[in-house]
Structure 1
Amino acid sequence: MVKTESSPKQAFYDFYLDEHQNIACRRLHFAGSSFGLLGLAKSVKTGSAKPLVKGIAAGYACAWVGHFFFEKNKPASFKFPLKSFVSDFRMYNDVLRGNLSLRDRKFDKAR
């Protein structure tokens, strides 16, 4: 696919996508990020941090299951926590916009 941007951020995102080629892993990441966002929304609404903590825990659990059991690699967040966090939501956004598929990688347009 054609790369439209050649920056360090894009290079890391390309690496990040290489680490998330398995569709089950992507689905689990999407679900996990959704749990995190729902936890954030509920924490804002209730003023309690508990839903946010639960959402983050569920999000990481989903992502790690995806990596260890489906992708068969170590999460990038172990070495690059901040870049991975940002890239996860970039991937989430790409899925929402239809640039990355949760069905089949042949439908990916993000790279």
Structure 2
Amino acid sequence: MTKPRFDSYEEFWPYYVAMHSRAATRWVHLTGTLTGLAISAYGLARRRGRLILALPLIGYATAWPAHCFIEGNNPATFGHPAWSLRGDRQMIRMMLAGRDRELGEIAAKWLADNR
């Protein structure tokens, strides 16, 4: 499959979700992001500047291997870093709202339409 091109975030979003088609990949993302966020917030509150780096370090250190070992693809971040951050935020918000099944449906539709 060739790497698709997108003219807007709205076009990119279903692709981003499809690159996280397996629930395990999404949950690893959620866990890494929330852990990094908690440690960063603690560092900010305690004025320990180095801990603020936990969000990107822990977030990416958990997400990228999930793409390799669970999903079997490359992270969308490599081709679309800004939209990927936005997509990660939207995906996590949906998961926290109990909408993980909807994410699976978006992924399945995009994959079926683009294979």
- The TM tier, using the shorter chain, reads 0.7 to 0.9
Q: How does 1:1-12 map to 2 (within 5 A)?
A: 8-12=8-12
User: For residues 26 and 65 of structure 1, what CA distance do their matches in structure 2 show?
Assistant: 12
Q: Tell me if structure 1 keeps the 8 A contact 2:40–2:54.
A: no
Size of the aligned set, in residue pairs, is 100
Using CA pairs under 8 Å that are at least 6 residues apart, name the structure with larger relative contact order, 1 or 2. Answer: 2
Match of 2:75 in 1: 75
2:90 corresponds to 1:90: yes
Moved over 6 A (4+): none
Compute the displacement of 1:56 (Å): 2.1
User: For residues 93 and 15 of structure 2, what CA distance do their matches in structure 1 show?
Assistant: 17
Match of 2:3 in 1: none
Q: Which runs of 5+ in 2 are unaligned?
A: 1-6, 111-115
Identity of aligned residues (%): 28
Structure 2 letter corresponding to 1:63: A
| Structure with the higher helix share, 1 or 2 | 2
Q: How does 1:1-111 map to 2 (within 5 A)?
A: 8-101=8-101, 105=104
Compute the displacement of 1:20 (Å): 0.3
TM-score (norm: length of structure 1): 0.79
Cα RMSD after superposing both structures: 2.2
Match of 1:4 in 2: none
Compute the displacement of 1:59 (Å): 1.1
TM-score (norm: length of structure 2): 0.76
User: For residues 72 and 49 of structure 1, what CA distance do their matches in structure 2 show?
Assistant: 35
What secondary structure is seen at the aligned counterpart in 2 of 1:70? helix
Q: Which runs of 5+ in 1 are unaligned?
A: 1-6
